[in-house]
Amino acid sequence: MKQALEKIELAAKEQLAKVADSAELEALRVRFLGKKGELTAILKGMAGLSAEERPVIGQLANKVRADIEEAVESRAAELKDAAIRLRLKEEKLDVTLPGKAPKLGRLHPMDTVMREIEDIFIGMGFDIVSGPEVEYDYYNFEALNIPRDHPARDTQDTFYISDNILLRTQTSSVQIHVMENRKPPIRIVSPGRVYRSDAVDATHSPIFHQIEGLVVDKGITMANLVGTLDMLMKRLYGDECKIRLRPHHFPFTEPSAEVDIVCFNCGGKGCPMCKGEGYVELLGAGMVHPKVLKQCGIDPEEYSGFAFGLGLERIVMGKYGINDLRLLYENDLRFLEQF
């Protein structure tokens, strides 16, 4: 029996050394130490031993069991170690390899210029406000002194949603919202999308962007308007930039003007870009019509104001020398990456 035990221990240690993974190891453990294992089988024969032999063999059997258990445990640790070492080797990371730079996006030129213009106005003490794109006829036309039968409606081909709800054709609608909700002094600009049912070509799009400006306070004059716009254009295009006002008509301003700047392409000599004019038209402006002030509950005897609305696309195109409006909307990276 003593020999049998020693044989088992030897055999177990021999086999353990050959085990390659934890499943094999477990099978081996069951084979030697399990309830139906070889060691148990031998111990069952202890009943036939003499009283002197029994404690000796018993002690030996316990030692063999402890030895095998220890051997199994240490083999398990070895296997675990080997597995980790293998993983480390296979998943080796070479930190000296050049990295993959993530592709960084950038601002669309429209956003760049929009933010630049907003910054300029914030610097002059204006608030930035926004207004709804789906609008009541009242805000887009009626309150701006453009009644139903006014010819000015014809030049702004409108997308109607219902009889009195439409997609705003101009950010001037925000003027009314602001004057309804704030008391003078008012100093705001409002950038946003506007909609007109125009066919797409190099200079037209059914969706484009305007920036509206409105100042209402005591003693506001045309000089404040000119000073503000002059500052805007000099900040945008450089100190040499000159503006020019031409008389015009808008129903919601009196007097009204169109504002041009000296052509950024030819500097005023006349070229194809300014159609030989030497100037490029940039925006509409004027003194807020007393009727509009009154409509919004502001006393025109006490307060006066100026307003302006400029087309963002035209400014972006002028600033970067872009000759086709469609390029701004196509989102072609080859185009956008140039800015």
Interface residues with ligand DAH (CB under 6 A) are 170, 172, 212, 250, 253, 284-286, 307-309
User: Do the Cβ atoms of 38 and 7 come closer than 8 Å?
Assistant: no
Intra-chain end-to-end CA distance of the chain, in Å: 91
Q: Which of 287, 279, 267 is nearest to 223 (CA)?
A: 287
* Cα 177–Cα 181–Cα 186 angle in degrees, nearest 5: 90
Q: Which residue carries 């006829």 as its tokens? A: 137
Min dist CB 186 to ligand DAH, Å, is 13
Shorter beta-carbon distance to ligand DAH: residue 310 or 317: 310
Return the number of the residue (12 or 174) whose C-beta is nearest ligand DAH: 174
Residue 311 beta carbon to ligand DAH: minimum distance, rounded to whole angstroms: 8
Q: Which is nearer to ligand DAH, 250 or 303 (CB)?
A: 250
Q: Return the exposure string of 273-294: e unless at least 16 CB atoms fall within 10 Å of the residue's CB, then b.
A: bbeeebbbbbbbbbbbbbebbe
Closest to ligand DAH by CB, 195 or 279: 195
Q: List the structure tokens of 83.
A: 């597995």
Helix and strand tally (H, E) in the chain? Answer: 11, 9
Q: Which is nearer to ligand DAH, 57 or 285 (CB)?
A: 285
The distance of closest approach from Cβ of residue 170 to ligand DAH in the complex, given in angstroms and rounded to an integer, is 4
Shortest distance in whole angstroms from residue 135 CB to ligand DAH: 13
What is the nearest approach in angstroms of ligand DAH to the Cβ of residue 104? 36
Comparing CB distances to ligand DAH, the nearer of 170 and 205 is: 170
- Shortest separation between residue 253's beta carbon and ligand DAH, angstroms: 4
d(CA 125, CA 121): 6
